[in-house]
Structure 1
Amino acid sequence: MVERIVATEKALTLINELETKHGAIMFVQSAGCCDGSAPMCYRQGDFYIGSRDLLIGTVGNAPYYMHQSHYTYWQHTQLILDVVEGMGAAFSLESTEGIAFHIHSRVFSDEERAELPTL
């Protein structure tokens, strides 16, 4: 089955480390400017999910939400959560680690797109 969001091994390792340190976590990719368009990692419950935030999948055990308006631009792609060196989003849990979650993407094939459930 095709997934809207997947994660690299490096991202899954960091997710496990953050869960060990902070407990259950979640990801939010809003439609805001600056940090808002980056994947933000929070402890579950530390960010209010709004009525226009869509659950697009999970990475590890962590739910991944994206604002509906932002999803409009990304709906034709599979998101690939990765980790890069450097400072990322200031409020994201990994920001003190000198690394940042980062999104890569690839376009779904017509066959894959037909398999995706509607959000």
Structure 2
Amino acid sequence: MPPRVIATPSAAALVRRLENEFGPLIFHQSGGCCEGTAPMCFRQSDFRVGPRDVFLGSIAGSPFYIGASTFEYFSNCQLIIDVTTGGGDSFSLEAPEGVRFITRSRVFTDAEWQELKAAGPPATGPEAAARA
């Protein structure tokens, strides 16, 4: 089954560096007002996963969740987490380094989409990553 979320090598390297500094991490992507649809990186202890948050998978060993309404928009796409320069104001852990995580996407092929549909919807809620 194709992964719903992957990371570029540069994003994976940044995740590992941040994890060495801050401990276990978690990612969340939403359609929120402040950061738009930028993926946010937090210490796992600093973020509470909601019951409707959708677990897409892990990047560099860190769980990646997406808000339910944002998942509806991206459900037919693979999310590709990358890094770009220019952190700006952000709540995400990487911002002080002058970089930020960004999401690129590609539409699943027809065969991939059929495979994902046959597998059923991804798990939701705070325990979803532990069940994966």
Q: Partners of 2:26 and 2:58 in 1: how far apart?
A: 9
Q: Partners of 1:89 and 1:65 in 2: how far apart?
A: 22
Q: Secondary structure at the match of 2:17?
A: helix
Give the match for residue 67 of structure 1.
67
Q: Which runs of 5+ in 1 are unaligned?
A: none
Give the match for residue 18 of structure 1.
18
Q: Partners of 2:24 and 2:115 in 1: how far apart?
A: 30
Give the match for residue 80 of structure 2.
80
CA offset at residue 34 of structure 1? 3.2
Give the match for residue 126 of structure 2.
none
Q: Which runs of 5+ in 2 are unaligned?
A: 123-132
CA offsets, 1:10-61, max 9 Å, x none? 0000001001000110100122123142100000121111111111111011
Q: Partners of 1:75 and 1:88 in 2: how far apart?
A: 28
Q: Secondary structure at the match of 2:45?
A: coil
Q: Partners of 1:19 and 1:48 in 2: how far apart?
A: 18
Q: 1:33-112 to 2 correspondence within 5 Å?
A: 33-88=33-88, 90-112=90-112
CA offsets, 1:45-104, max 9 Å, x none? 211111111111110110000011110000010000000000256110001000000000
- 1:43 is aligned with what amino acid? R
Q: Please give the TM-score of this superposition, normalised by the length of structure 1.
A: 0.95
**4+ residue runs of structure 1 moved beyond 4 angstroms?**
none
Is contact 1:2-1:112 (8 Å) kept? yes
- 2:17 is aligned with what amino acid? E
Q: Partners of 2:88 and 2:18 in 1: how far apart?
A: 15
Q: Partners of 2:100 and 2:110 in 1: how far apart?
A: 32
Q: Partners of 1:41 and 1:8 in 2: how far apart?
A: 15
Return the structure number with greater strand share: 1
Q: Over aligned residue pairs, what C-alpha RMSD do you find?
A: 1.2
Q: Partners of 1:111 and 1:74 in 2: how far apart?
A: 17
CA gap of 1:115–1:61, structure 2 versus 1, over 3 A, is: same
Is contact 1:88-1:101 (8 Å) kept? no
